[in-house]
Amino acid sequence: MNLRNMALCSMFFWLICFKVSAQENSNYPSLKPIEYKENVRAPFSAQELGFLEEVYGEYLDQVILNNNQKQKEIKNLLRNRIEYLQINDASDQKKCEMLSEVSLFDAYNKNLTRDKKFNQDLFNPLKYNFNFYSRGSQMYRVDGTNYFILIRSQYNY
């Protein structure tokens, strides 16, 4: 019995050392806490609720509205992190993924469809599988236009 306890303690010790070592060797800089602007305290606008209903349908309450943290994340995304840019000068345009290459986020609503024409005032970014939670900012180009969708990282906007 004593030998068994020693073996378990030794194994536990090595696991702890390995875990600490793995954390120290991370190549990623530590992330600062996400700070939300004051505007995330305001309730969802009618347009924002429409965007959410389109994407989440009958699951809206369960996934978003009954989760305060998720509400903050969505409000922060829609209000502070997404920007639409019109860049007419070709020399200023960056190569980036086209909107048509981004799949639809249809996990909750299989009837989602792509917009036929881009209108930044009516565009629902929640419909698309954008990389909203990457460490860096992301940019996508709207096909056939000079419009770009910039999604700022939640860690440095």
Note the Cα 145 to chain centre separation in Å.
Answer: 24
Listed by start position, the domains of the chain span 38-151
The model carries a pTM of: 0.76
Tens digits of per-residue pLDDT, 66-76?
999 999 999 99
Neighbours of 141 (CB within 10 A): 21
Is 101:139 a contact under the CB 8 Å cutoff? no
Q: What are the tens digits of pLDDT across the range 86-143? A: 988 766 566 899 999 999 999 999 999 999 999 999 999 999 999 998 888 999 999 9
Q: CB under 8 Å to 17, separation ≥6 — which residues?
A: none
Contact criterion met (CB below 8 Å) for 72 and 36: yes
